[in-house]
Amino acid sequence: MSTPMSMSETRPRYAVLAEGLVKRYRARGRGGVEKRALDGFDLAVRPGTVHGLLGPNGAGKTTAVRVLATLLRYDGGRAEVAGIDVGREPRRVRSRIGLAGQYAAVDEGLTGRQNLEMFGRLFHLGNRGARQRAGELLERFGLVEAADRSAKEYSGGMRRRLDLASSMILSPDVLFLDEPTTGLDPRGRGEVWDAIRALVAGGTTVLLTTQYLDEADKLASHITVIDRGRAIADDTPDALKNRVGGDRIEVVAADPGDLAAVARAVERVAGGGLVLTDDTTRRVHAQVADRVAALTEVARSLQDDRIAVEDIGLRRPSLDDVFLRLTGHGAGADRTPADGTPTDGTPAGDTQFVREGAAA
């Protein structure tokens, strides 16, 4: 994992920089045990990029975003956003950031245009300035045709795009997106992805938390994996995949009764490595060193034994493989303790929302 240099040396290089961040909570009830949602967390985000922050539920993703967005005070370490010290000058930080979460913070009783104009007036743009900015954002986010329709008539993707537009009222340098596509269908997710790409093309830096690993793979140029409040890996998606190792051979048996025979054929080329078998999908796969030789040998062995397969091929490591290797579990795993005190955020049920420029 790459380690950030000192802040004085790197201030021009990073849009978001955290060093050794600590955030403590005390579990509910008398004598509650202290929990660390962030336990020496490091992060370095370059300007004008999408930086993915991945981790299981409760690993510290949302806490990190809330600290960097000035919604939570941290207990140790240092952080800068847009070159401004988060602990010392939170108001200045807020004037340079935007934040959008899992749930669209729009008034469904208003039209899309009215929502944006309302946010513009809240941020002191005046009536004329608010109207002008609303028009610009409606066009930028592809909402012109729906501008004068009630937001409650919007699809999930349109509502989320309106939410993103409202977070851009003051053209923030840094936009924090905390699982922005949760609950959306594939079309809605694609619409949000297009909007994010457009923002970055315009110079905005995006810190994206997500549990959809394909989303991080498609959008992020750099990824940090967090677990138990610490960054455990930090690199490009391709570099992280390369750490997992070589290609995997994957075979799908035509007959469930042949799974054991397929597994034996794969074991012979796995070099003593782990061979995984999925009874539900009739799939057998393992990591191999020599991709071509392994594929040839398994295909020949299955043919000699007259075992039919639906599919056989080589697969590159995915971010799912990276996540499993680094954390020991899948992206949907939950780190929340049994006492109900989340390790990833404030106590359950406590929600807050901030827009750039909001007063402290």
Same domain, 34 and 70: yes
Task: Kindly state the DSSP code that residue 121 receives in the 8-state scheme.
Answer: H
Amino acid symbol at 257: G
- Whether 204 maps to a domain, the answer reads yes
Range of the domain at 188: 7-96+172-241
CATH number at residue 302: 3.30.70.100
pLDDT of residue 335: 57
pLDDT of residue 31: 65
Q: Is the pLDDT of residue 337 over 60?
A: no
CATH number at residue 230: 3.40.50.300
Report pTM: 0.74
The number of folded domains in the chain is 2
SS3 197: helix
- Whether 35 maps to a domain, the answer reads yes
Task: Please write the tens of the pLDDT for every residue from 150-201.
Answer: 999 999 889 989 998 998 888 899 999 988 888 778 888 888 898 899 889 9
Same domain, 185 and 271: no
- Whether 218 maps to a domain, the answer reads yes
- Whether 283 maps to a domain, the answer reads yes
Same domain, 81 and 26: yes
- Whether 110 maps to a domain, the answer reads no
Q: What is the mean pLDDT of residues 299-306?
A: 92
Contact 24, 35 (CB under 8 A): yes
pLDDT of residue 319: 84
Which of 226, 241, 256 is the C-terminal boundary of a domain? Answer: 241
- Whether 288 maps to a domain, the answer reads yes
pLDDT of residue 73: 95
Task: Please write the tens of the pLDDT for every residue from 258-291.
Answer: 999 999 999 888 888 778 888 888 989 888 888 8
Amino acid symbol at 41: F
Contact 77, 22 (CB under 8 A): yes
Same domain, 19 and 88: yes
